[in-house]
Amino acid sequence: MEKSALHVVSEKYDPRFGQIAVDLGFITHAQLKEALCRQIDENLAGGKHRLLGTILFDMDLMSSEQIEKVLNVLFSGHSNSA
């Protein structure tokens, strides 16, 4: 089965943070796609690379507490622990 474009982009640009944020219900797939596109556009424009959590925070899509929860899940190696 062919992978969706979002899945391919997510795999290439370290999907873990974004996918965990979606899994925890903090953002939607559409919001993740928008943030990833923004990150890619900034990188291609020669801007300083920004982490996905920073972009989502700046877009007012995630709070610092939500970002911390995602990072705790990411670094603990567990998935979907709210």
Three-state SS for the chain is: CCCCHHHHHHHHCCHHHHHHHHHCCCCCHHHHHHHHHHHHHHHHCCCCCCCHHHHHHHCCCCCHHHHHHHHHHHHHCCCCCC
Any domain includes 77? no
Any domain includes 78? no
Any domain includes 15? yes
Whether 9 shows a pLDDT value over 70: the answer reads: no
Any domain includes 74? no
Any domain includes 71? no
* Domain total in the chain: 1
What pTM does this model have? 0.74
Categorize the per-residue pLDDT at 23 as very low, low, confident or very high, splitting at 50, 70 and 90. very high
User: What is the domain range of residue 17?
Assistant: 5-66
For residue 29, the model assigns a pLDDT of 96
Any domain includes 54? yes
Categorize the per-residue pLDDT at 7 as very low, low, confident or very high, splitting at 50, 70 and 90. low
> How many angstroms separate the CA atoms of 79 and 64, rounded?
19
Any domain includes 76? no
For residue 75, the model assigns a pLDDT of 84
Whether 5 shows a pLDDT value over 90: the answer reads: no
Categorize the per-residue pLDDT at 82 as very low, low, confident or very high, splitting at 50, 70 and 90. very low
